[in-house]
Structure 1
Amino acid sequence: MFAIIETGGKQFRVKEGQQIKVAKLADEAGSEIVLDKILAAGGQSEVKFGQPYVDGAKVVCDVLSHERDKKVIVFKKKRRKGYSKKQGHRQDFTRLRVKSIEA
């Protein structure tokens, strides 16, 4: 069974037992969260597509941890002008484990 979920402005294809990294959520680590924005869900024989979301479908996930991603370097330079700027950025994210998919 799989589902295509939407969270944090992005879409993810998930299966039961899979771990995913999503944009930071406000829920506590160790708690359970229910995602109800399901774009498509199904198995090998039948797939349901929503318009835009599948009615009555939900994905139950465990919140494992809140972490920070690798550093991304933002470097700007204008040639022959003596201008250069270096800046780093680390994005916050939440790690989820998919417990069950109900469609």
Structure 2
Amino acid sequence: MFAVVKIAGQQFKVQEGQNLYVPHLTGKSGDKVEFSEVLLVDNDGKFSVGSDVKATVKAEIVSDFVQGDKVIAFKMKRRKGFRKKHGHRTQYTQIKIESIA
């Protein structure tokens, strides 16, 4: 059984017991979160899509703050002495899917 869930504007395919990294969610380690915006559910070959879906996905926050890889945006104009270096690390939350009900 799997489901497609919309979390923070992104779609994720999830299964029970799966660990995944999602955009940063508010909460601490051990908190329970519930995602009600389920787009698709596959229950042993039976698909429910759109408004037919009456499922929610329950998960637990494993790690509340994980940083992604460093991304550097470097701008330069040759022969002008113009150099600009900006960087960032995207923040994620690690969750474990407990149930799809």
TM-score (normalizing by structure 1): 0.89
Q: CA RMSD in A?
A: 1.4
Alpha-carbon separation, structure 2, partners of 1:80 and 1:39: 52
Corresponding residue for 2:56?
Answer: 58
Corresponding residue for 2:85?
Answer: 86
Amino acid at match of 1:36: S
1:59-78 → structure 2 map (5 Å cutoff): 59-65=57-63, 66-78=65-77
Gaps of 5+ in 1: none
Alpha-carbon separation, structure 2, partners of 1:4 and 1:48: 11
Alpha-carbon separation, structure 2, partners of 1:7 and 1:30: 18
Amino acid at match of 2:28: E
- Runs of 4+ aligned residues of structure 1 deviating over 3 Å after TM superposition are none
Alpha-carbon separation, structure 2, partners of 1:81 and 1:26: 44
Question: How far apart are residue 70 of structure 1 and its match?
Answer: 1.4
Corresponding residue for 1:38?
Answer: 38
Residue 74 of structure 1 aligns to a residue whose secondary structure is strand
User: Deviation string for 1:25-82 (max 9, x for gaps)?
Assistant: 112211111111100011332010014x82x310010100121111111111122322
Q: Report the structure, 1 or 2, having the larger strand content.
A: 2
Gaps of 5+ in 2: none
Alpha-carbon separation, structure 2, partners of 1:43 and 1:76: 50
Task: Single out whichever of 5-14 and 78-87 deviates more from structure 2.
Answer: 78-87
TM-score (normalizing by structure 2): 0.90
- 1:6 matched to 2:10? The reply is no
